[in-house]
Structure 1
Amino acid sequence: MTFSRSIKIAPSILSADFADFGREIEAIEDQGCDWVHVDVMDGHFVPNLTFGPPLCKAIRPHITTVMDVHLMIAPVDPYIDAFAEAGADIITAHLEAGPHPHRTLQAIRATGKKAGLALNPGTPVEAVIPLLDLTDLICVMTVNPGFGGQSFIAGQLVQIRRLKALIGDRPIHIEVDGGVDPATAPLVAEAGADVLVAGSAVFRGGSVEAPEKYGANIRAIRESANAALHLAA
């Protein structure tokens, strides 16, 4: 993975057809997505239950871009090796998931994978300062984690701007997850995000039989984000 601050669209397969993940992933990649985002939830850290390492291993052969695995689980450390072995390129854990995030990031890096750190809306971004040099990605949640289709929390734009200032010139991606669509994409891009996770906004209206709608949705999000960056420049 070559680092770039260009806008990247990472569809969340939480909004895909669960019975047809392989073809869904192939469809969104064919239609221009940059990463594939996998939301792992445990029914404990967040109020929903989704995927585990076997699912990640099963879909890995269908992913030719980047497998971006977001662990909304606690404890997280005992499962890092399993998700690494399942083929994740990036493993993101929540700062709030355990008492030793420094150790968690070290454990992710020890597998040879990129290490991400996610922050709930109630967590100030300043909490990442001691951890910046161990992170490749910081995910700012713009909804409360646990469910797809929630409304964007506009107050998180301040957090994204603060995070961008804290990162400075470090090669750390700023990812935004929650409520991203063509209306909110320019807001988060202008604030400093370069990886935009979108679920329903990508998959709405399309299918593996009609994937062109996925492409139109991806282009709409990307174009609105890039237009904001152009105006800011």
Structure 2
Amino acid sequence: MPRAIISPSVLASDFGQLTAECKRMIKGGAEWLHMDVMDGHFVPNITMGKLAEPLVACTISCPPGAPILACVSKGVPGIFMDCHMMVAEPEKWVNDIADAGGALYCFHLEATGDPLSVIKAIRARNMKVGVAISPDTPSTAITDEVANAADMLLVMTVYPGRGGQKFLERCVPKVAELRARFPDKDIEVDGGVGPNTIDVCAHAGSNVIVAGTAIFGAPNPDEVIAKLKASVNTAQAKLSS
């Protein structure tokens, strides 16, 4: 089983102190930072809330979110940005996200008819590849060829496009199905995950955990990060015994 990784969702952070918030998460034990990038087309919202709207208006040649990612990358050297691209035509934004410092480019399977070409473009820019599926997309939509070409598979446990939604437990069996097919692959869950829902995700086989409000809104985020990681480690020990 791949190792436990906690990726706090920056969408839930205080954007007025974005760099400090990212540093706070890393100091608290997070290895990745989950950066939600929305375009207003694939999902109705624009990336990272209202802060990004004037940036998008002023930087038409850049994807939504790229200027923010570049600022974070500059302010937090060595940060691993897990970029969740909730965008139409994901192939169009690969270069901009790479230039902004993205480490992993995760696109939605529903947004393209040619996922292997998108994967090839991401690889060409030396980023890791993630492939995401929304709640109504079955795990079987991810073919063996696509999964084997990717580094990570993301199962959404809420509908993409906005934070604060209720965890959809009906999506969890897809995690188990993908884990059975790809025992060595990183499998991420995103949406409504926190101390009350982590165990079901971990026992299904997820090892990369995205959590927003549960971490950023906690009095002691480092304790929440430690609890989430411990749940994954405990589940992995049981699955491998």
- When normalised by structure 2's length, the TM-score is 0.87
> Letter of the aligned partner of 1:5 in structure 2?
P
In structure 2, the residue matched to 1:94 is 108
* 1:175 is the counterpart of 2:182: no
2:231 equivalent to 1:224: yes
Instruction: Give the Å deviation of 1:63.
Output: 4.9
2:213 partner letter: S
Amino acid at match of 2:26: E
Specify the code of the residue in structure 2 equivalent to 1:109. Answer: R
Question: Does the Cα contact within 8 Å between 1:157 and 1:191 map onto a contact in 2?
Answer: yes
CA contact (8 A) 1:142 1:178 kept: yes
Give the whole-Å Cα distance in 2 for the aligned partners of 1:115 and 1:230: 27
Q: Give matches, 1:38-77, under 5 Å.
A: 38-51=35-48, 52-61=65-74, 62-77=76-91
Deviations 1:110-165 (A, max 9, x none): 11111110000111111112312210111000111111111111111110011111
Matches within 5 A, 1:37-186: 37-51=34-48, 52-61=65-74, 62-129=76-143, 130-169=145-184, 172-186=185-199
Structure 2: gaps spanning 5 or more residues? 49-64
Aligned: 1:214 with 2:228: no
Tell me the equivalent position of 1:209: none
- Determine if contact 2:206/2:232 at 8 Å carries over to the other structure: no
Q: Which residue of 1 aligns with 2:62?
A: none
Where 1:155 maps in the other structure, the secondary structure is helix
CA contact (8 A) 2:205 2:236 kept: no
| Number of equivalences | 222
Aligned equivalent of 1:24: 21
SS in 2 for 1:74: coil
Deviation at 1:231, TM superposition (A): 4.2
State the shift of 1:168 in Å: 3.6
- CA positional deviation for 1:204: 0.9
- CA RMSD in angstroms comes to 1.5
TM-score (norm 1): 0.90
Deviations 1:152-211 (A, max 9, x none): 111111100111112144xx21011111111211111111111000000101134xxxxx
1:147 is matched by which residue type in structure 2? R
Residue 193 (structure 1) aligned with residue 200 (structure 2) = no
Residue in 2 that maps onto 1:210: none
2:72 counterpart SS class: helix
CA distance in 2, matches of 1:53, 1:101: 22
When residues 173 and 91 of structure 1 are mapped into structure 2, their CA distance, relative to the original with a 3 A threshold, is same
**Partner amino acid, structure 2, of 1:152:** F
Q: Is the 8 A contact 1:25 1:63 kept in 2?
A: no
**Aligned mates of 2:25, 2:77 — CA distance in 1:** 10
